[in-house]
Amino acid sequence: MRPDGCRLSTLLLVSDTHHPARGGAHPGGLPGPVWDAVDAADVVVHAGDWCSTDLLDRLERRAARLLACWGNNDGADLRARLPETARATIGGVRVAVTHETGATQGRERRARRDHPEADLLVFGHSHVPWDSHADGLRLLNPGSPTDRRRMPTFTWMTLTLHDGVVDDVVLHHLEP
């Protein structure tokens, strides 16, 4: 709760965990600081490319609430349990979670067209963190906490949602 009594929801954003190929090096599939963030969050958001149901099962058991979708590397077992795009209203913010948004060029325009009902779009796929605004839509990509690819660090995001506002977005880094 905020001092004025309004409900504040804390979110953890992750994507592209590629478990067990990448996340398997960590106890439970994620680095310790990310598990700490899972425990602290009201909602854990995963934007796809799980690669196995093992991490999904663990997050479902441990997270207070999970909002998640499947990614291009996820097989039939994950696609049977997760939507291509997950949606929820949290703290008055209409959230959509999808894996792919296409090329960087024109991303905001496509995202607004493809998710006209959303205030916040969380996506993955590139493993590159992203934070932009376009025509009333906030776009966030947390990167990856387990597969940094071209990035110098592993990354994930935390933020708060309240009264229809996306606030306190923080990109977290973990050295390799």
47: in domain = yes
Helices (H), the chain: 32-40, 53-62, 76-81, 107-114
Residue with tokens 């991490």: 55
Residue-level pLDDT at 2 = 47
- pTM for the whole structure: 0.95
- If one counts every other C-beta atom within 10 angstroms of the C-beta of residue 114, the result is 14
108: in domain = yes
- If one counts every other C-beta atom within 10 angstroms of the C-beta of residue 78, the result is 21
**Are 22 and 50 in contact, with CB atoms under 8 Å apart?**
no
Sheet architecture: strand order including 137-141 = 85-90, 93-98, 120-122, 137-141, 130-134
What parts of the chain have a pLDDT lower than 50?
2-3
> What CATH number is attached to the domain comprising 23?
3.60.21.10
165: in domain = yes
4: in domain = no
Say whether 54 sits in a helix, a strand or coil: helix
Q: How many separate domains does the chain show?
A: 1
96: in domain = yes
2: in domain = no
Residue with tokens 């696609």: 79
The length of the chain is: 176
Summarised one tens digit per residue, pLDDT across range 83-131 is 999 999 999 999 999 999 999 999 999 999 999 999 999 999 999 999 9
Residue-level pLDDT at 28 = 84
Q: Which domain holds residue 21?
A: 9-174
81: in domain = yes
3: in domain = no
